[in-house]
Amino acid sequence: MIIRKSPAEIEKMAAAGVVHTKAMKLAESKIREGVTTLEIDQAVEKLIRSHGGEPSFKGYHGFTGSICASPNSMVVHGIPGPYRLERGDILSVDIGVTLDGWVADGAVTFPVGPITPIARKLLEVTRQALFDAAEQCRPGNRLGDVSHAVQACVEASGMSVVRSLVGHGIGRDMHEAPQIPNYGQPGRGPKLEPGMVLAVEPMVNAGGHQVRLASDEWSIFSKDGSLAAHFEFTIAVTADGPRILTPWHEVIDAGAAPVPVS
């Protein structure tokens, strides 16, 4: 069952989103050559807690980090640790914030200094796919319209949607119904209604779509070793259209600059 939120509950999620955006901006400020992913993690956790929130990922099914920090060919779920960022890396940062019992979730893939043309294209395409999908989060549309928007953008670029990983509903729990694939047919699936809140998160490989699970049983890599990117919003479906509750795009320039969703 897809749990619809009241306007007051959406405002509570938006408040968590304010903290999330501050945390993502802080992460961006820490990303430079020589910094470890653990150092970024610790700074973000401190900020979240200073605003009365909790890092949603910490302790989730035993996950040890406050953020997911996934460099280069790692798609998602990277455990923060001793890895030192290098010039030319890309780093996907996924942050969850729980505030007053409500969760906000979002991700950005950042460049570490100058990056290759293929890495730049990957960031631009994945970010644009997220905005295209967000535009579909309107009452009366179907979930398949959201999924198809990601697929169409990514595959037109010659890159690949990761098919074994999905977005999700979100609210008091980080993962609620429905699952949101990043591929599918328009006009299919549940009808979107005001009060639904979705964590939409394109995960894209520059090469093939297949992935592999690392020995730590968390980190997921592109199977062919190609670069991977991950961008995510928490989006409320409202009578006035999509409302982005984790508006990191207002303060961060990673990737291209698509027209913001109204």
> What's the CA gap between 151 and 48, in Å, rounded?
33
Helix (H, G, I), strand (E, B), or coil: what is residue 195? Answer: coil
pLDDT of residue 106: 98
pLDDT of residue 237: 98
Tens of pLDDT, residues 170-180? 999 999 999 99
Res. 260: pLDDT tops 60: no
| Residue 62, φ and ψ in degrees, nearest 5 | 90, 5
Strands annotated E in 3-136: 54-55, 67-71, 74-76, 90-99, 102-111
Res. 116: pLDDT tops 90: yes
pLDDT of residue 35: 98
Ordered domains of the chain (ranges, CATH)? 7-248 (3.90.230.10)
Tens of pLDDT, residues 159-207? 999 999 999 999 999 999 999 999 999 999 999 999 999 999 999 999 9
Q: Are 80 and 71 in contact (CB under 8 A)?
A: no
Q: Which of these, 12, 20, 9, 29, lies nearest to 253 by C-alpha position? A: 29
Q: Which of these, 219, 212, 211, lies nearest to 78 by C-alpha position? A: 219
pLDDT of residue 262: 37
Res. 244: pLDDT tops 50: yes
Res. 248: pLDDT tops 80: yes
Q: Which of these, 21, 164, 222, lies nearest to 106 by C-alpha position? A: 21
How far from chain centre, in Å, is Cα 231? 4
Percent helix / strand / coil, the chain, rounded to 5? 30, 25, 45
Integer CA distances (angstroms), 98 to 15, 47, 49, 66, 185, in order: 10, 13, 10, 11, 33
Give 61's pLDDT tier (boundaries 50, 70, 90). very high
Res. 261: pLDDT tops 70: no
Please report, in angstroms and rounded to a whole number, the separation of the first and last CA atoms in the chain: 27
Mean per-residue pLDDT over the chain, rounded: 96
The residue-averaged pLDDT of 22-26 equals: 98
Residue 212 tokens, joined: 């592999």
Within 8 A by CB and 6+ apart from 69, the residues are: 37, 40, 41, 78, 79, 80, 83, 91, 92, 93
pLDDT of residue 255: 63
Give 91's pLDDT tier (boundaries 50, 70, 90). very high
